[in-house]
């Protein structure tokens, strides 16, 4: 019994050391390629969309820690088992490590942008864990007739392994800190083309900006070694450092970004003042070949996002963004560089932590979300939302300000109307906006009378098309329907 406990503990400790060293290696060399993250990512990829949506709904932003914790627990269980079996059959130590290492490597390679080097962290972890376990279990003959001395030796070895694991974790922390400092030290050049003045409250404070991605841990990318490769259907392949990008003329624009997964009235939308390099001139420099109709953006942690080439050339402000609301991009929002395509949902035009742009065709390649059934185009649908009053609010009779936002990036908003209890549509007042690519803030003064009431909002885009009442789910091309709330007036 005690022997079994010892075997299990040795297995878990050895795996812990292996993982910690692999995380340190990944932090320095390949962000997001740590073994746990690779396996977790593969699990997410393999999960049907319906289950994924269920998990996001039930667990919210805890979905990732929960998944990583589960992967860690399963690994700990398997490592403990390997330790117990390895007590009596040494070969099983090597076999267990090999199986787990290869499983991790296979998971890393199965990711959409997985390349051979991504297998290294898992293989490294398995090699270190296997060797450590072997040493812990077999460095001294287990048959010596001195059980207490043997126990002391085992505890000494275990403490050594735990210490090494803590050191490796600490190293990974230092790497991440150093990158954090490089981010705050980054000096942003002034834009060649500044944003137009805009009304206060138009932009979402960075800390409140929604975040949606599949990254299990936020990739920490060293801006000093980051580069962007532009290749595929181009005459000249480009490789640009962050300094190369920052030396180009920059544009500064207020642009609204929203997620296709946003429900009617939902929170996955925000507006920020972005600073970036316009993509069109860069693609022309690379010498765009005939037939290229898709830009496949790949990110450090393995996302692929497919964006129509036309959106970089039709005059809109499609850019490689380096800053958000006056500061370098926060790590969560894609530091050091992300794509931004006005008029497209994030999954179709806003690749974070971008490291590669491949010019190709839609016929030749389906990006991550398209493989999962989401629409190829990703064009933002006209929508509007009531932010004030809150649903189920209790209000006093008299004039009540009803307010919110409406958006139809690229087309703009020409009209917002409010209907009380299904009655006639009344025009809301629109605040001025810098361009068609931002949401519009609207307000309506409602003479509220006692009783329960429903409030609905609808927008008309710049082309005169009225937002449809028909309800559609976010999948596969964005939710539709009017946002309606109920309130009580007394
Ligand atoms: N690398 C990467 N980029 C990504 C994603 C992702 O999962 N990975 N998600 C996309 C989606 S679905 C959206 S809506 C936006 C969200 O950007 P934000 O988190 O900065 O708000 O990023 C897009 N870019
Ligand atoms: Mo999204």
Nearest Cα residue to atom 20 of ligand 1: 333
210 in contact with ligand 1, CB cutoff 6 A: yes
pLDDT tens string 376-418: 999 999 999 999 999 999 999 999 999 999 999 999 999 999 9
Residue 134: phi, psi to the nearest 5?
Answer: -55, -45
Nearest Cα residue to atom 24 of ligand 1: 351
What is the Cα–Cα distance from 202 to 439, expressed in whole angstroms? 8
Q: Which atom of ligand 1 is nearest to the CA of 300?
A: 1
What is the Cα–Cα distance from 304 to 295, expressed in whole angstroms? 10
Looking at every residue in the chain, the average pLDDT score rounds to: 92
Dihedral sign for Cα 4, 9, 10, 11, please: positive
271 in contact with ligand 1, CB cutoff 6 A: no
Quick one: which ligand is closest to 272's CA? Answer: 1
259 in contact with ligand 1, CB cutoff 6 A: yes
In this model, does residue 373 exceed pLDDT 50? yes
What is the Cα–Cα distance from 380 to 345, expressed in whole angstroms? 6
pLDDT tens string 28-86: 777 667 888 888 888 888 888 778 778 777 777 678 888 889 999 999 999 999 999 99
Terminal Cα distance for the chain, rounded = 71
pLDDT tens string 120-175: 999 999 999 999 999 998 765 544 444 566 888 889 999 999 999 999 989 888 88
Helices then strands, each counted (H, E), the chain: 12, 19
User: For residue 10, what pLDDT is reported?
Assistant: 93
Mutate which of 206, 347, 374, 475 for ligand 1? The one with the most ligand atoms within 8 Å of its CB, which is 347
Q: Which atom of ligand 1 is nearest to the CA of 299?
A: 1
Over the Cα atoms of the chain, what is R_g?
A: 27
Percent of the chain with pLDDT over 70: 96
368 in contact with ligand 1, CB cutoff 6 A: no
366 in contact with ligand 1, CB cutoff 6 A: no
In this model, does residue 350 exceed pLDDT 90? yes
Nearest Cα residue to atom 10 of ligand 1: 347
Nearest Cα residue to atom 16 of ligand 1: 212
DSSP strand pairing (227-232 vs 238-241): antiparallel
330 in contact with ligand 1, CB cutoff 6 A: no
What is the Cα–Cα distance from 275 to 188, expressed in whole angstroms? 9
Q: Which residue has the higher pLDDT, 240 or 34?
A: 240
Task: Tell me the fold of 206-371.
Answer: Sulfite Oxidase; Chain A, domain 2 (3.90.420)
Q: Which atom of ligand 1 is nearest to the CA of 210?
A: 21
The number of CA neighbours under 13 Å toward the Cβ of 346 is 21
In this model, does residue 112 exceed pLDDT 80? no
In this model, does residue 365 exceed pLDDT 90? yes
In this model, does residue 327 exceed pLDDT 80? yes
Nearest Cα residue to atom 1 of ligand 1: 352
Among 20-29, 207-216, 364-373, whose mean pLDDT is lowest? 20-29
- Residues 202-227 have a mean pLDDT of 91
Instruction: Give the domain ranges of the chain.
Output: 2-184, 206-371, 383-489
- Residues 344-368 have a mean pLDDT of 97
User: For residue 108, what pLDDT is reported?
Assistant: 87
Please give all residues whose CB falls under 5 A of ion ligand 2, grouped by chain where several chains appear: 212, 259, 346-347
Mutate which of 320, 350, 353, 476 for ligand 1? The one with the most ligand atoms within 8 Å of its CB, which is 350
Q: What is the pTM of this model?
A: 0.84
Q: Which residue has the higher pLDDT, 203 or 169?
A: 203
- Residues 220-227 have a mean pLDDT of 93
What is the Cα–Cα distance from 171 to 467, expressed in whole angstroms? 53
299 in contact with ligand 1, CB cutoff 6 A: yes
What is the Cα–Cα distance from 157 to 173, expressed in whole angstroms? 25
What's the CA-to-centroid distance between 4 and ligand 2, angstroms? 48
In this model, does residue 1 exceed pLDDT 70? no
**Nearest one of 376, 275, 410, 267 to 334, comparing CA atoms:** 275
What is the Cα–Cα distance from 412 to 311, expressed in whole angstroms? 16
Q: Does domain 383-489 have CATH number 3.55.40.20?
A: no
Quick one: which ligand is closest to 64's CA? Answer: 1
Among 101-110, 441-450, 451-460, whose mean pLDDT is lowest? 101-110
User: For residue 41, what pLDDT is reported?
Assistant: 84
What's the CA-to-centroid distance between 350 and ligand 2, angstroms? 9
Nearest Cα residue to atom 18 of ligand 1: 211
298 in contact with ligand 1, CB cutoff 6 A: no
Among 162-166, 326-330, 365-369, 398-402, whose mean pLDDT is lowest? 162-166
Q: Which atom of ligand 1 is nearest to the CA of 211?
A: 19
Quick one: which ligand is closest to 346's CA? Answer: 1
403 in contact with ligand 1, CB cutoff 6 A: no
List the strands of the sheet with 451-461, edge to edge. 394-395, 483-489, 451-461, 413-420, 425-427
- Residues 443-460 have a mean pLDDT of 98
User: For residue 173, what pLDDT is reported?
Assistant: 86
272 in contact with ligand 1, CB cutoff 6 A: no
Quick one: which ligand is closest to 352's CA? Answer: 1
435 in contact with ligand 1, CB cutoff 6 A: no
DSSP strand pairing (451-461 vs 413-420): antiparallel
In this model, does residue 15 exceed pLDDT 60? yes
User: For residue 200, what pLDDT is reported?
Assistant: 87
Q: Which atom of ligand 1 is nearest to the CA of 219?
A: 1
Query: Is residue 130 within a helix (H) or strand (E), and if so which, with residue range?
Result: helix 120-138
Q: Which atom of ligand 1 is nearest to the CA of 354?
A: 1
């Amino acid at each position: 019994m005690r022997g079994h406990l010892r075997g299990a503990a040795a297995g878990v400790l050895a795996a812990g050391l292996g993982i910690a060293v692999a995380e340190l290696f990944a932090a320095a060399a390949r962000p997001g390629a740590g073994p746990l993250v690779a396996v977790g990512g593969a699990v997410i990829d393999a999960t049907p969309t319906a289950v994924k949506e269920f998990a996001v709904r039930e667990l919210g932003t805890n979905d990732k820690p929960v998944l990583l914790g589960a992967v860690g627990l399963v690994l700990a269980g398997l490592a403990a088992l390997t330790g117990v079996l390895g007590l009596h059959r040494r070969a099983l130590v090597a076999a267990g490590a090999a199986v787990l290492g290869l499983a991790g490597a296979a998971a890393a390679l199965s990711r959409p942008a997985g390349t051979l080097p991504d297998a290294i962290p898992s293989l490294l972890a398995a090699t270190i864990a296997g060797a450590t376990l072997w040493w812990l279990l077999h460095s001294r003959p287990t048959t010596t007739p001195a059980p207490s001395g043997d126990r002391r030796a085992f505890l000494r070895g275990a403490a050594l392994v735990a210490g090494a694991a803590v050191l490796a974790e600490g190293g990974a922390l230092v790497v991440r800190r150093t990158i954090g400092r490089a981010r705050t030290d980054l000096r942003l050049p002034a834009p060649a083309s500044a944003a137009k003045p805009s009304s206060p409250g138009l932009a979402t404070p960075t800390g409140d900006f929604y975040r949606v991605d599949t990254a299990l841990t936020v990739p920490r990318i060293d801006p000093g070694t980051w580069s962007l490769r532009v290749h595929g259907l181009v005459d000249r392949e480009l490789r640009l450092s962050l300094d190369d990008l920052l030396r180009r003329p920059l544009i500064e624009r207020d642009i609204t970004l929203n997620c296709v997964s946003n429900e009617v009235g939902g929170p996955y939308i925000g507006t920020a003042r972005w600073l970036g390099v316009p993509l069109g001139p860069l693609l022309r420099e690379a010498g765009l070949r005939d037939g290229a109709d898709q830009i496949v953006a790949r990110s450090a942690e393995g996302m692929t996002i497919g964006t129509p080439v036309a959106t970089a050339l039709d005059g809109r402000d499609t850019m490689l963004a380096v800053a958000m609301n006056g500061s370098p991009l926060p790590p969560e929002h894609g530091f050091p560089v992300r794509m931004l395509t006005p008029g497209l949902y994030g999954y179709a035009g806003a690749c974070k932590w971008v490291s590669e742009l491949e010019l190709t065709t839609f016929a030749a390649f389906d990006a991550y979300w398209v493989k999962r059934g989401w629409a190829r185009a990703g064009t933002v649908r006209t929508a509007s939302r009531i932010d004030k009053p809150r649903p189920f609010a209790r209000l006093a009779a008299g004039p009540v300000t009803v307010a919110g936002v409406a958006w139809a990036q690229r087309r703009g908003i020409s009209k917002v109307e409010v209907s009380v209890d299904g009655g006639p549509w009344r025009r809301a007042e629109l605040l001025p906006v810098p361009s068609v690519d931002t949401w519009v803030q609207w307000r309506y003064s409602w003479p509220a009378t006692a009783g329960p009431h429903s409030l609905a909002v609808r927008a008309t885009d710049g082309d005169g098309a009225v937002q449809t009442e028909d309800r559609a789910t976010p999948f596969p091309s964005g939710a539709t329907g009017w946002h309606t709330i109920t309130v009580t007036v007394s």
